[in-house]
Amino acid sequence: MSAEHHTFSDLDVLIDQVHDLFDEWERSERFAPALGVDDLNRLKLAVHEWLANLVQHAHFNGHHPQIGLSVALQEDGIQCTISDNSDGFNLDDELTIRSTSLESLPERGMGLLMLQACTKRLSYQRVNGSVQKLEFVVSTKDNPWLKIQFS
């Protein structure tokens, strides 16, 4: 299967557009049989949590938002890359803060921890000077439990 590449620019409808894309992939069985229902649900969760954070918290410094989404099957899972032209932030620091300061079963603040828990090879970095790039793999070989530590 070749990689799927999509671009988005309207934060007001971004999440709905991506949900529609996933619904189409599910209806057409785009990634079947390599990607099972649980794998697809973990991919949806990871992508949704990242995009929700972009919509709610990202700063684009007056630039028109440009978000790219690419997915491709690999031997051990599905590779996902989400790029954007926001200012970005330090993901590692934010994950450390969240994992050490959340109460048990909080109402908010779990998105990044859920993203980390349901993915492997998670990385986030600035590339080409002004583009932020999140890359992760959702495994099709493992069936990970979502293990999020609370303080």
Does residue 61 come out as left (phi exceeding 0), alpha (psi in the -120 to 50 range) or beta? left
pLDDT value of residue 95: 80
pLDDT value of residue 102: 60
Residue 12: pLDDT over 90: yes
Spans of all domains in the chain: 4-139
- Please state whether beta strands 77-84 and 67-74 pair in parallel, antiparallel, or not at all (unpaired): antiparallel
pLDDT value of residue 60: 93
Which run of H or of E encompasses 61?
A: none
> If you average pLDDT over residues 129-145, what whole number do you get?
82
| Superfamily (CATH H level) for 4-139 | Histidine kinase-like ATPase, C-terminal domain (3.30.565.10)
Summarize pLDDT for 65-113 with one digit per residue, the tens.
999 999 999 888 899 999 999 998 888 888 887 777 666 555 555 678 8
First to last CA, the chain: 42
Note the helical H segments in the chain: 14-28, 37-57, 91-101, 111-117
Lowest mean pLDDT among 4-8, 32-36, 50-54, 72-76: 32-36
